[in-house]
A and B are shown apart, each in its own frame.
Chain A
Amino acid sequence: MTAQPSFLENTGSRKGILAWILSTDHKRVGLLYLYSMVSFFFVGVTIGVIMRLVQLTTFQHLVTAQTYNALFTLHGVIMIFLFVVPGLPAVFGNFFLPILIGAKDVAFPRLNLASWYFFMIGATLAILSLFTGGGAPDTGWTFYAPFSIKTGTNISLAVFGAFILGFSSMLTGINFITTIHRLRAPGMTWFRMPLMSWALYSTSWIQLLATPILAITLVLVILERFFGIGIFDPAKGGDPLLYQHLFWIYSHPAVYIMILPAMGAISEILPTFCKRPIFGYKAIAYSSMSIAAVGSLVWAHHMFTSGMSNVAQMVFSLLTMIVAVPSAIKVFNWVSTLYKGAIDFQPPLFFALSFIFLFCIGGLTGVMQGALAINIHIHDTYFIVGHFHYVMFGGTGFAFFAALLYWFPKMFGKMYSKKAIYASWFPMFIGFNMLYFGMMILGMMGMPRRYYVHLPQFHWMHVFATVGSWFLALGLLGFFGTLLYAIFKGEKAEDNPWGGVTLEWTIPSPPPLRTSKRFQPSPRAPITSRRRTRRD
């Protein structure tokens, strides 16, 4: 095994970049996703920082109100469709799912590479829509009808880009489900799978069942714009509310596409650094599936002020409260895993704990908004913006960082500077809370979202939040700078630097091109709950 070259070295006939962009190896496809996604992430961060600058009145001359509309639309489209939705499944799912279950690759390697191409085509179209046609889209990432149908900006291209991105997401889902059903190694039964695989499995089902609804909704927007079919147009007997329903039937489950794999990664990281089995393995596995199921039935809580019937409002409010239960089960299990563990404090654990803290704030404010009376007050305010950044960035984002730190030595065979990571954590965490907690306070005070200007009484808090955004951006630069430096100049990492017991730690770092036949999972105990010895 030692003689085998790693997957990072080119051994085939293709040279240079072609050896990467034509490779169907799941590890290379995972890294392709990682590089493209982190690039898009930084585009999104830059737009975010500019938007914050606009709220400092001294910088308002930087962009016009129309450009501001385009900025928040693009920030949303990029961050959601190009970073958090594909986020963990496309990078760590591709790279580690086959390894975790003892398979050589995913079930359809060529389809997997094709998904990356769909991703890139969709991304290119979305970015092209900025510079072509009637100007950058200005509807917000939700593309609400009837405005998305009436506005003269380049909605059709952006929407078509999102349609293609949906295709990429769906194909990844099909691939993962088939992989998990068909390619588990002998002895790798369902309840011996690592929890990351369970999370990816439930995520894939949502991708499969929810994404087509978004696809058809976006197609209808395009048809409406080109041919005026009238389904969302009240003048022709259509109904804009129908658009909102169809949109959120996808886009709420999409929130769970974003968060479930993040929870899966956390469920891998915690036991490794607590040196003990995860508490409540089955409960976590089942809660992933029940989040996927119940999460598909709560979409209309985004529409409490849109004019639904009272009965519908109450039903969706109740279901929203219920979906918090499986999420809470996970949080309790994570905390119980920490209890009496022999905690080995390392950067991945640090970020995983930040995840739990931030996700709790995001999750609890979510339950709060599920209550109808509160929702009316804070609907479409900065409170919502703060809330979903806590869940999406504090949750998925921080879990993404934690997973990256956890698996980085395995993926690249290099170790990063732990001190530099801690040093960038501080501005990141403090800046994050200044920015988004500031936003929640602003929302409570009554600041509406998506406004170009604000009333004077909100100004001091906007300044506070904007300063937070600088810290946050600084921390992010430090974080990715450290990792980039480590790729080139980092020390060589051990095969198992954290003392993990799942299968990826049994192979060399970085893994050889073909990882096969090495896996013989223990026939007795679940892989994730083998007793660990204390490491001194």
Chain B
Amino acid sequence: MTEHVHRDDFGSRLGMWLFLVTEMVLFGGLFIAYSAMRHRYPMEFHQAGAELNATLGIINTVVLLTSSLTVVLSIVAMQRGDKKRTIGFLSSTLVLGLVFLIIKAFEWSAKFHHGLYPNAPHLATLPPGEQVFFGLYFSMTGLHGLHIVAGMGVLAWVLYMVIQNQVRADRYVHLENAGLYWHLVDVIWIFLLPLFYLAA
């Protein structure tokens, strides 16, 4: 049968955008929880926020924003048919993602060191509002971290396809979609930064 292979890049992007909507709503649930709790404990959130290292948070923001830039640059390079640069930019995104995770790991371990983690004996002595703050902090940054890992997985897979020439200058919708996902992860972080690190 001479079957015409159906291809609809617009449809693929639409599907990706719809998926991003579900991700937004997923985090939306957590943002609702955050708003309700912050409304209830404004002072406690202020105090607990001071425990977080704003400098590291801002450094991580810069790292993530740069990684989004390199994704865009890789798409531009792909449009121009420059495979070598596409690979270079994609790899740098992956490296920046890793840097983000390493900084995050340092942050988290510092919190653990200070006994500021759920169910810790020290945390239990703090006022309830601060306990909730750290519950939310670990849930939200943890879930975000998982998304970073997932995004890196997707980008690594696309990188592999670029190397294999399955993603080419005439069909790069996979790259675009992976980029969209990475931008979403980035955008969510933009909201997490002020809500936690700048809450003090």
Give the interface segment out of A84-92, A175-183, A330-338.
Answer: A175-183
Give the interface segment out of B7-15, B80-88, B106-114.
Answer: B7-15
Which B residues are CB-close (under 8 A) to A210?
25
Q: Is the interface of B mostly helix, strand, loop or mixed?
A: helix
Q: State the Cβ distance, A107 to closest chain B Cβ, in Å.
A: 5
B119 within 8 A of A: yes
Which B residues are CB-close (under 8 A) to A227?
118-119, 138
B194 within 8 A of A: no
Q: Across the interface, do A230 and B118 meet the contact criterion of CB distance under 8 Å?
A: yes
Q: Which residue of B lies closest to A215 (CB)?
A: B26
Q: Across the interface, do B138 and A178 meet the contact criterion of CB distance under 8 Å?
A: no
Of the candidates A183, A219, A229, the one whose C-beta lies within 8 Å of that of B138 is A229
Q: Which residue of A lies closest to B19 (CB)?
A: A174
- Separation of A104 and B21 alpha carbons in the complex (Å): 26
- Near B by CB (< 8 A), chain A positions 232-270 give 235-239, 242, 245-246, 249
Which A residues are CB-close (under 8 A) to B37?
231, 237-239, 242
- Separation of A23 and B32 alpha carbons in the complex (Å): 41
- Near B by CB (< 8 A), chain A positions 205-234 give 208-213, 215-217, 219-220, 223, 227-231
A447 within 8 A of B: no
Q: Across the interface, do B26 and A238 meet the contact criterion of CB distance under 8 Å?
A: no
Q: Across the interface, do A230 and B131 meet the contact criterion of CB distance under 8 Å?
A: yes
Contact with B along A386-413 (1 / 0, CB 8 A): 0000000000000000000000000000
B50 within 8 A of A: no
Which A residues are CB-close (under 8 A) to B1?
514
Q: State the Cβ distance, B7 to closest chain A Cβ, in Å.
A: 11
Q: Across the interface, do A178 and B11 meet the contact criterion of CB distance under 8 Å?
A: yes
- Near A by CB (< 8 A), chain B positions 22-36 give 22-30, 32-33, 36
Q: Which residue of B lies closest to A237 (CB)?
A: B128
Q: Across the interface, do B8 and A182 meet the contact criterion of CB distance under 8 Å?
A: yes
A464 within 8 A of B: no
Of the candidates A181, A183, A212, A220, the one whose C-beta lies within 8 Å of that of B28 is A212
Q: State the Cβ distance, B108 to closest chain A Cβ, in Å.
A: 13
Q: Across the interface, do A208 and B18 meet the contact criterion of CB distance under 8 Å?
A: yes
Which A residues are CB-close (under 8 A) to B11?
107, 178, 181-183
B53 within 8 A of A: no
A170 within 8 A of B: yes
Q: Across the interface, do A223 and B139 meet the contact criterion of CB distance under 8 Å?
A: yes
Contact with A along B106-146 (1 / 0, CB 8 A): 00000000000011000010011111100110110001000
Q: Across the interface, do A231 and B132 meet the contact criterion of CB distance under 8 Å?
A: yes
B41 within 8 A of A: yes
Q: Is the interface of A mostly helix, strand, loop or mixed?
A: helix
Which B residues are CB-close (under 8 A) to A231?
33, 37, 132, 135-136, 139
The interface centre, meaning the residue of A175, A178, A219, A237 with most chain B CB atoms within 10 A of its CB, is A237
Query: How many residues of chain A get a CB closer than 8 Å to chain B's CBs?
Result: 40
- Separation of A229 and B27 alpha carbons in the complex (Å): 17
Which B residues are CB-close (under 8 A) to A108?
15
A213 in contact with B18 given A230-B118, A238-B132 (CB within 8 Å): no
A237 in contact with B132 given A107-B8, A107-B15, A229-B138 (CB within 8 Å): yes
Which A residues are CB-close (under 8 A) to B138?
227, 229
Contact with B along A355-369 (1 / 0, CB 8 A): 000000000000000
Which A residues are CB-close (under 8 A) to B27?
216
Which B residues are CB-close (under 8 A) to A239?
36-37, 40
Q: Which residue of A lies closest to B8 (CB)?
A: A182
- Separation of A423 and B22 alpha carbons in the complex (Å): 45
Contact with B along A173-205 (1 / 0, CB 8 A): 111011001110000000000000000000000
Q: Which residue of B lies closest to A181 (CB)?
A: B14
Which B residues are CB-close (under 8 A) to A213?
25-26, 28-29
Q: Across the interface, do A246 and B32 meet the contact criterion of CB distance under 8 Å?
A: yes
Binding site for A on B (CB under 8 A): 1, 3, 6, 8, 10-11, 14-15, 18-19, 21-30, 32-33, 36-37, 40-41, 44, 118-119, 124, 127-132, 135-136, 138-139, 143
Return the 5 tightest CB-CB contacts between A and B, nearest first: A237-B128, A229-B135, A216-B29, A212-B26, A212-B25
Given contacts A208-B25, A212-B25, A213-B28, 7 further A-B contacts (CB under 8 A): A170-B22, A182-B14, A213-B25, A227-B119, A231-B33, A231-B37, A237-B44
What are 29 A-B contacts defined by CB distance under 8 Å?
Answer: A107-B8, A108-B15, A174-B18, A174-B19, A174-B22, A175-B15, A178-B11, A178-B18, A182-B10, A208-B18, A208-B22, A208-B25, A212-B26, A213-B25, A213-B26, A213-B29, A216-B26, A216-B30, A219-B143, A227-B138, A229-B138, A230-B118, A235-B128, A237-B37, A237-B132, A238-B132, A238-B135, A249-B29, A514-B1
